[in-house]
Structure formats: C-alpha cells, structure tokens
C-alpha cells in the first residue's frame, strides 16, 4: 500500500513539474494563440510549439532514463535527434508548397484577367459585326423591295397584255388533255390485248411443255421396257450359247440341234418383228417430242431473233437418242457381226438335218468330219458370247474374222 502511494505521489509530482516546464516554454494551451498573417504562418507556429513540447518531454525522459541506464538515455537521445531532423524538414516543405500555391494563384489571376479582356474584345467585335450585318440586311431588304416592286409592275403590265391569251391557252390545254385521255385509253386497250395474248401464249407453252414432258416420260418408260426386253433376250441368248458350248465340250459327238435352231430364230420371225415394232414406237415418240420442243423453242426466240440456248442442247439430245436407237437396232437385227455367226450356225444346222434324213444315216467318216469341226464351233460360240450386247457392225470387224465366218458358212457339206 505504501508503494502504491509513493508511485502516485511521484506521478503527481511529475505532472506538476511538466506543467511548470510547459509554462516556462510558453506553450500553455490556455495562453496559446494563433495570430500569424496567414494560415500557413499559424501552421508553422503550431508546428514549432509542438516541436518545443516534444523537446521538453524527450529531454525530461532522457534525463530520468539516464539516471538508471546511461545507454538507454543515449538511445533515446538518438531517437530524439532523428525526430528533430524530421520536424525541421516539415516547415521547409510547407513553405515550398505555400510558395507554389501563391505562384499558381498569381498565374490563375493573370489568366482570368486575360480571359476577361479577351471576352470583352469578342463582345465588342460581335456588337460591331452585328451592326454591320443589320445595316447590310436593311440595304438588301430595301433593294429586294424595290426589285419586287419593279417585277410586280412588269407582271401587272404583262398580265394586262396577256389577258386574251389565257383563254386560248385554256382551250389548248383542254384539247391536249382530251388527246392524252384518248391516247391513254388506246394504250390501256393495247396493254390488255398484249396481256391476254401473252397469257394465251403462256398457257399454250405450258400445255406444250406438259405434252413434251408426258411424251418424254412415255418414251423413257417405253425405252426402259424395251431395254429390259433386249437385255433379257440377250441374256437368254448368252445362256443358251453357254449351254451349247458346254454340251459341245461335254458331248463332242452330240450337237444340240434344237437349241441351235432356237438361237437362229433370234434374228427372224415374231421376236425380230416385236423388237422392230418397239424401236419404231420409240422413234415415233422421240420424233413427236423433237417436233413439239422445236416449235416451242421457235416461239420463244430472243429479242434479237436468235435461237434459244436450249435449241442446241435439244439437238444434242436428239442426236444421242438417234445414236442409241441405232445401237439397239444393230443389236436386235444382228448387224453387230452376230448375224454372220448365226448364218454359219444355220448352214451347219441344215447340213446336219440333211445328214440325219439321209437313207443310209450318218456315216463314220461324216462323224469324224463333224468331230473335227466341233472345236471351230466352240470358238464360234465364244465369239458370239462376246458380241451379244455390243454395237459393232460387220464393216468394223477385221477381214480375217469375215473370212473365217464365210469359211464356216460356205464349207461343203460332209455327205
């Protein structure tokens, strides 16, 4: 308890000593007054007072600490010295800022004065320009008024002179209007006539085009069916020739005469007539299609009278269809060298029939001759298998092949 009382008494004593030191330094809060010429001077005075307070307090602290430990006192002395150096720099920086502020204010003041002078000059110039513009406007208006009066006087004079012409102009206008109305009626009638004619032509063209499309579809369907029939007949011929060739290889002594005769009928009789009729029907459809298309394109020529660009394409299609029909005709009628081969087969069929009907039958020597000719028949059937379905003509075959076929067909009978 006694120790606490001693510390409190020391603190009270220290407070009294500090108050006395502050009064001696002249920094008492009650007596502290700011009476500088500017706020910057008051701030500097306040900073100086604050520096004195810190000096007094640090001095007392250093003194009391040095009593117990001299090193601590020295350390506090160094800290105090650094702090004093920093506080000494603050007034310099504040004064520098204050001088810059004064310079900026002076610059702003001078710029403001120049702006005011410039504004006054612009106002004076504007007033002088406005006055000159008003004067020029008055002169121009006066001149325009005089000119308008002169023009009005001339107009009145012209109106008096041309009073009689207005009626003539009105009558001329009425005549012109009536003529234009009649012309418009005539043009309207011509337009309606052209519209109706164009519509009828368009309907006719559409109908013709529909017929062309219908004919084309009919021709396509007919040719597709005809192509299937030709292919089926050719496949049948190939199959029969393969059977003949196999039988010739398997049984060299027995020739299938019935199948040979059926194959010989491929290019004669009702089958040939049916194929030719189908080709004629297709050619007729193609001819109708070409004629209708040609008429339609002739009606739709260009403005300069040239043919339509579709004319050339239509002619190319017509030529290709003609070539296709010609190829089918060759295949059906046997002009692709197959007819010559069939002729040779027919000749040998007649020879075999003659030998078969002979009263003495077929002799051994005749069988030997027939046996020797079977390899040639096999070669002949192989060539026939290659030619079925092709479009080669007899003129396109080689001379050796023609001589070979002629040799087969013209060889003497073996009886």
Could you report the per-residue pLDDT of 87-135, keeping only the tens digit for each? 778 777 877 877 888 888 888 888 888 888 888 877 777 777 776 777 7
Kindly state the DSSP code that residue 307 receives in the 8-state scheme. Answer: P
Cα distance between residue 392 and residue 199, in whole Å: 51
Q: Of 245, 276, 275, whose CA–CA distance to 260 is shortest?
A: 245
Same-domain status, 122 and 216: no
Same domain as 333, residue 220: yes
Closest Cα partner for 342 from 298, 373, 388?
388
- pLDDT of res. 345: 61
> Does 313 map to a domain?
yes
What length does the chain have?
415
**Longest CA pairwise span in the chain (Å):** 180
The domain boundary residue, chosen from 127, 155, 188: 127
Q: Say whether both 119 and 230 belong to one domain.
A: no
| 114 and 212 co-located in one domain | no
Measured torsion, CA atoms of residues 42, 44, 48, 54, in degrees rounded to the nearest 10: 100
For the chain, list residues with pLDDT below 70.
Answer: 1-7, 11, 22, 24-37, 131, 163-164, 166, 169, 244-276, 279, 300, 302-303, 305, 330-368, 370-371, 373, 377, 380-381, 384-385, 387-415
Is residue 56 in a domain? yes
pLDDT digit string (tens) for 225-277? Answer: 877 887 787 787 778 777 766 666 665 444 444 444 455 555 555 565 666 67
Residue 186: inside a domain, yes or no?
A: no
Share of the chain above pLDDT 90, in %: 0
Provide the 8-state DSSP code for 266: G
2 in any annotated domain: no
> Do 366 and 248 share a structural domain?
yes
195 falls within a domain: no
218 and 344 both lie in a single domain: yes
pLDDT at 253: 42
Return the exposure string of 150-161: e unless at least 16 CB atoms fall within 10 Å of the residue's CB, then b: eeeeeeeeeeee
Kindly give the residue spans of alpha helices, DSSP state H, lying in 26-69. Answer: 39-68
Give the pair of three-digit tokens for residue 138: 């008055």
The answer to whether 94 touches 43, Cβ cutoff 8 Å, is yes
Is there a contact between 53 and 22 (Cβ–Cβ < 8 Å)? yes
Across 288-306, b (16+ Cβ under 10 Å) vs e yields ebbebbeebbeeeeeeeee
Residue 249 CA to residue 240 CA, distance in Å, equals: 14
End-of-domain residue from the set 94, 127, 160: 127
- Rg, C-alpha atoms of the chain: 67
Boundaries of domain holding 91: 33-127
Domain boundary among 92, 127, 162: 127
The pLDDT value recorded for residue 51 is 78
Identify the sign of the CA torsion 125, 131, 135, 138: positive
In total, how many domains does the chain have?
Answer: 2
């Amino acid at each position: 308890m006694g120790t606490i009382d001693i510390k409190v008494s020391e603190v009270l004593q220290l407070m009294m000593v500090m108050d006395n030191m502050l009064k001696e330094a002249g920094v008492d809060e009650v007596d502290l007054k700011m009476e500088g010429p500017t706020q910057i001077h008051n701030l500097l005075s306040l900073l100086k007072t604050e520096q004195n307070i810190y000096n007094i307090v640090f001095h007392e602290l250093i003194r009391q600490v040095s009593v117990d430990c001299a090193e601590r006192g020295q350390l506090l002395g160094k800290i105090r010295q650094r702090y004093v150096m920093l506080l000494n720099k603050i007034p310099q920086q504040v004064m520098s800022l204050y001088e810059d502020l004064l310079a900026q204010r002076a610059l702003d003041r001078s710029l403001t004065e120049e702006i005011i002078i410039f504004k006054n000059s612009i106002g004076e110039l504007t007033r002088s320009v406005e006055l000159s513009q008003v004067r020029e406007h008055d002169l121009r208006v006066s001149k325009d008024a005089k000119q308008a009066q002169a023009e009005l006087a001339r107009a009145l004079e012209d109106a008096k002179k041309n009073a009689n012409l207005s009626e003539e102009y009105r009558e001329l206008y009425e005549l012109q209007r009536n003529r234009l109305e009649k012309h418009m009626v005539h043009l309207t009638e011509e337009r309606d006539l052209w519209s109706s004619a164009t519509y009828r032509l368009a309907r006719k063209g559409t109908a013709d085009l529909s017929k062309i499309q219908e004919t084309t579809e009919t021709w396509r369907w007919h040719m597709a069916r005809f192509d299937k029939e030709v292919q089926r007949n050719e496949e049948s011929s190939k199959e029969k020739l393969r059977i003949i060739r196999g039988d010739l290889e398997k049984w060299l002594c027995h020739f299938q005469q019935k199948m040979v005769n059926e194959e010989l009928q491929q290019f004669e009789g009702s089958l040939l007539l049916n194929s030719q009729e189908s080709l004629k029907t297709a050619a007729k459809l193609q001819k109708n299609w070409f004629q209708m298309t040609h008429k339609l394109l002739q009606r739709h020529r260009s403005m300069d009278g040239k043919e339509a660009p579709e004319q050339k394409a239509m002619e190319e299609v017509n030529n290709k269809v003609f070539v296709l029909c010609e190829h089918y005709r060759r295949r059906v009628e046997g002009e692709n060298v197959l007819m010559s081969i069939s002729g040779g087969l027919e000749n040998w069929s007649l020879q075999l029939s003659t030998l078969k009907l002979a009263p003495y039958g077929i002799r051994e020597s005749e069988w030997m001759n027939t046996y020797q000719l079977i390899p040639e028949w096999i070669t002949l059937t192989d060539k026939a298998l290659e030619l079925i379905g092709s479009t080669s003509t007899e003129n396109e075959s080689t001379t050796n092949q023609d001589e070979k076929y002629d040799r087969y067909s013209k060889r003497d009978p073996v009886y």
